[in-house]
Structure formats: structure tokens, C-alpha cells
Structure 1
């Protein structure tokens, strides 16, 4: 699950769960109380990846940094199942929905939401506290208090789930 590459090895924070079925490779720093789900691939091979505290990298997410650059993912971020990130930054408390793509050098602002299946194209930026949807992703509205409440609840679910996996572990069934 954790692999050294090119003389660099992942660093994982306290209270963080990394599934045995995930691949975390090379120059990757993961904060405290994160959830790294089954089948996630986090490739810090020719770039660096930094993931903030309390972030959920759900199942099947792929994260890669642009060559010689850093992909920064903020605190309490939700990366939905099957999302693909190859960008520059995802701001604190942002959400990248299931199956969404953040392409090379893209940026997603603090508290923003990228809807499921959307594509943030090469070099594009989603401003802070905006909801973006479509291909290419375009701002459709501002984030509401209801959005923040719902996603805050969802983020806590994954922080709690990480703790439970660490406490109980997965037990193979014969």
C-alpha cells in the first residue's frame, strides 16, 4: 500500500487510515485523520502530493501531480469515488464529486464544489465557494449554507470511518 520510489517515501499522519488496497507511491504527504479508500492511487513519482488533515480520498480516486510540481489538497476535502486529480490545488473544505476530473494545472477554490462527472479543464480555476458543473466545468451558483452543512456532515463521516477502520481493521472472510 505504501511504496518508496526514487528515494522518496510517503508520510502518513496520525489517525489516518490508508487501505491495504490503495497504492500510495513516492513523494506523498498525508495529514492527520484522513481516509484513503480502497483502490485509491496516489502517485508522487515525478511530482509531489500534499493532502491536508481530515480529507477523504474515496474509493477509486486517482491523484497525480504535474511533472516537477505539487498537487496540494487542502484540509477537510472530499474527493468522491472515482475522481481523477492531476491539477495544482484543491482548496480547504472543497468537494470534488464522484467521477469528476481536475485536469493538469487546474485549481479548485476553497469551499467550492465540483459536481459529479464534471471536468475542470487544463489551467482552469473554479473560484472560492462556487459550485461548478459540466464539461467543461462552469460556475452554476454560489455555495449555500445548506451545502456547507451537508458536506460538513459528510466529511465527519469519513473522519469517523477512518478511526473505525484503524480500530477494527478489515478481516478477510474464508
Structure 2
């Protein structure tokens, strides 16, 4: 659901998919070919959220911005299931793994990968093309060609999934129970 708040209305590309069970509030801009998954929450109530082309915000993720500031997620970023993105800048092609957290004013470099459950501290900067893991995250290695190929495939998968959801919207159904013996 999209909600106007404090005079600010979400702006969404016609080619973006937002689940009917997601919540998008206030000053939020969602670009072309984005996927906003079921149960995701994007709170543009204090600050502004900008999500650029081809980004996937997967199920249960929360995105928020500090008061009067911007949380910018650039082209073809993957935000994993149940991740928390708070006041970060995430450069293009980066990945924030499932359950990971990016804290206030953190920065994730282009193509960087934050491992599942990783915690990026306030003001921490993760350089481009590295894999970072832990709490707080530390660089564990450089991004490999195999990583890049996998995440290109994953990003394409979510762009195509957004298209499928737009073409074939979800429909409520009544539960079907198997016959009893």
C-alpha cells in the first residue's frame, strides 16, 4: 500500500512492482523495473528514500532515512530478505544480504557484497568490489567473477519477477483443503 504522509506522496515508476502487502510511506521515489517485495516497509516519513533502476527490495526488508536526509539506493542493488537499511548510500550493483543491517550514514561501494547478517556500523564505509561480513562487517575478500556472474543473474531474475507480477497480479483465493479419508 502507498500512503501520503505530511504532504508527501510516493512516486513510483509504472514499470516498478510493489507488492500489495508492502508499505510505502511519504517521500519515496521508486525507479523503473524495481521489485518491492511482500511485507517490505519503506518509510519516507522523516527523510527521503530514492530507489533507482532495477533494484530489488526483498520480502520483509525495512528502509528508512534519518530526519531531513536522504537514503539513496542506486541502480540494480539487491536488498535481501529482512535486511534493515537506515540512512545509507548504496552504490550500484551492490548486495546487502538477508538479515543484514546498514546503520546511519553508512556507505556501501559499487558492487560490494554485505554478507547475510552483516552489520555495517554508523558512518562505516565499505569500499567497492569487496565482500564484507560480521558484526561489525570487515572485509573478507574481493568480489570474484563468480560472485559478479551470480548477482547479475539474481538481479535479472528480480527484474523479470517484477514484470511477471505486473503482468499477472496476485489474486486472493479461498484455501483449498485436500479431501479427508
TM-score, scaled to structure 2: 0.95
Equivalent runs, 1:81-96 vs 2, <5 Å: 81-96=81-96
Deviations 1:8-51 (A, max 9, x none): 00000131100000000000000000000000000000100000
Number of the residue aligned with 1:130: 130
CA RMSD in angstroms comes to 0.6
Number of the residue aligned with 2:103: 103
Instruction: Give SS of 1:146's match.
Output: helix
Number of the residue aligned with 1:2: 2
Distance, in Å, in 2 between the alignment partners of 1:137 and 1:32 is 31
Number of the residue aligned with 2:78: 78
Number of the residue aligned with 1:154: 154
Distance, in Å, in 1 between the alignment partners of 2:26 and 2:87 is 17
Instruction: Give SS of 1:157's match.
Output: helix
Greater Rg, structure 1 or structure 2? 2
Distance, in Å, in 2 between the alignment partners of 1:19 and 1:107 is 27
Distance, in Å, in 2 between the alignment partners of 1:140 and 1:41 is 30
What are structure 2's unaligned runs of at least 5 residues?
175-181
Equivalent runs, 1:36-47 vs 2, <5 Å: 36-47=36-47
Number of the residue aligned with 2:141: 141
Distance, in Å, in 2 between the alignment partners of 1:170 and 1:133 is 36
The alpha carbon displacement at 1:66 in A equals 1.2
Distance, in Å, in 1 between the alignment partners of 2:88 and 2:68 is 11
Decide whether the 8 Å contact of 1:51 with 1:74 is kept in 2.
yes
TM-score, scaled to structure 1: 0.99
Distance, in Å, in 2 between the alignment partners of 1:88 and 1:79 is 12
What are structure 1's unaligned runs of at least 5 residues?
none
Distance, in Å, in 2 between the alignment partners of 1:78 and 1:14 is 20
**Matched pairs, number:** 174
User: Structure 1 runs of 4+ off > 6 angstroms?
Assistant: none
